[in-house]
Amino acid sequence: MKSRMTALLALCLSTAVSALAQGTAFTCQGRLSDGGSPANGSYDLTFSLCDAGANGTLVAGAVTNAATAVRNGLFLVTLDFGASFSGAPRWLEIGVQTNGGGAYTALIPRQQFTAMP
């Protein structure tokens, strides 16, 4: 019984230590439609961090993910805005264009960051 508890305690401690090594990058998953249908193909996406849902001030970005694969409307990217999260409310502004296709179109509304486990 004692060796089981020691192993469990060691596992908990190693988990706590590894949590301190987290960086500032996070995963962002989204859904994109093109002409009312789920998008498929390669799209250029740009992400900016703002301090308000509309207007406001740019806090960080733009981070561009060129040639992002979108399948059945779903995409997954890793973003890193550095130490831009001070505890104040933040919104994510996303721009999209077909791969290499001209100007970015801003997706409205901006998405507010909320806490999740």
Write out pLDDT tens, residues 46-100: 999 999 999 999 999 899 998 999 999 999 999 999 999 888 999 999 999 988 7
Q: What is the CA radius of gyration of the chain?
A: 19
pLDDT of amino acid 20: 53
Write out pLDDT tens, residues 11-61: 333 334 445 557 899 999 999 998 899 999 999 999 999 999 999 999 998
* Domains, the chain, with CATH or none: 23-112 (2.60.40)
pLDDT of amino acid 15: 38
Say how far apart CA 83 and CA 94 lie, in whole Å. 19
Query: Strand 91-98 to strand 41-50: parallel, antiparallel, or no bridges (unpaired)?
Result: antiparallel
